[in-house]
Structure 1
Amino acid sequence: MAYLPLNANAWGMLGHRIVGQVAEAHLSKKALKGVRGILGSESLAMASNWGDFIKSDTAYNYLYNWHFVNLPGGLDKQGVFNFLDTDHDANVYNKVIEMTVILKNHESTAAQKLLAMRMLVHMVGDLNQPMHTARKEDLGGNKVYVTWFGEKSNLHRVWDEALIGYQQLSYTEYAAAINHPSKEQLTAWKSNSLKDFVYGSYEACNKIYAETKPEAKLSYKYNYDFAGLLDTQLLKGGICLANILNEIYS
Structure 2
Amino acid sequence: MKSMYSKLLMLAFISSSLYSYAWGLTGHRIIAEIAENHLSGKARREIRKMMGRERLAYWANWPDFIKSDTTGVWKQASAWHYVNIDPQTDFKTFEQKLKMQAGPSLYTQVNTLSSQIKDSKTPEKDRKIALIFLIHIMGDLAQPMHVGRAEDLGGNKINVTYFGEKTNLHSVWDGKLVDSQKYSYTEYSKLLDIRSDDEVKKIQSGTLEDWLYDSHTIANRIYAQTPDGSKLSFDYQYKFNDVMERQLLYGGLRLAKWLNDLF
TM range (shorter): over 0.9
Deviates more, 1:158-167 or 1:71-80: 71-80
Partner SS, residue 13 of structure 1: helix
Amino acid at match of 1:103: I
Aligned residues: 244
In the other structure, the counterpart of 1:64 is: 78
Q: TM-score, normalised by structure 1?
A: 0.94
What does residue range 1-250 of structure 1 map to in structure 2 within 5 Å? Answer: 9-57=21-69, 58-249=72-263
CA distance in 2: counterparts of 1:205 and 1:191, whole angstroms: 21
CA distance in 2: counterparts of 1:62 and 1:78, whole angstroms: 29
Runs of 4+ in 1 over 4 A off after TM superposition: none
Aligned-pair distance for 1:213?
Answer: 1.6
CA distance in 1: counterparts of 2:19 and 2:131, whole angstroms: 23
RMSD of the TM alignment (CA)?
1.5
CA distance in 2: counterparts of 1:182 and 1:148, whole angstroms: 35
Does the 8 Å contact 1:71/1:134 carry over to 2? yes
CA distance in 2: counterparts of 1:182 and 1:227, whole angstroms: 21
Partner SS, residue 161 of structure 2: strand
Aligned-pair distance for 1:190?
Answer: 2.1
Amino acid at match of 1:35: I
CA distance in 1: counterparts of 2:43 and 2:52, whole angstroms: 13
In the other structure, the counterpart of 1:3 is: none
Going from structure 1 to structure 2, the CA distance change for 1:128 and 1:30 (only over 3 Å counts) comes to same
Aligned-pair distance for 1:189?
Answer: 2.0
Does the 8 Å contact 2:20/2:175 carry over to 1? no
* Alpha-carbon displacement from aligned partner over 1:36-93 (angstroms, at most 9, x marks no partner): 1111012111111010011122311110100000010134111111122222410001
Does the 8 Å contact 1:69/1:133 carry over to 2? yes
CA distance in 1: counterparts of 2:20 and 2:192, whole angstroms: 25
Which ranges in structure 2 are unaligned for 5 or more consecutive residues?
A: 1-17
Partner SS, residue 132 of structure 1: helix
Aligned-pair identity in percent equals: 41
Does the 8 Å contact 1:190/1:240 carry over to 2? yes
Going from structure 1 to structure 2, the CA distance change for 1:139 and 1:8 (only over 3 Å counts) comes to farther
Amino acid at match of 1:180: I
Amino acid at match of 1:43: R
Going from structure 1 to structure 2, the CA distance change for 1:74 and 1:193 (only over 3 Å counts) comes to closer
CA distance in 1: counterparts of 2:20 and 2:235, whole angstroms: 25
CA distance in 1: counterparts of 2:35 and 2:45, whole angstroms: 14
Aligned-pair distance for 1:182?
Answer: 4.3
CA distance in 2: counterparts of 1:90 and 1:126, whole angstroms: 15
Partner SS, residue 153 of structure 1: strand
Does the 8 Å contact 2:144/2:215 carry over to 1? yes
CA distance in 2: counterparts of 1:54 and 1:172, whole angstroms: 24
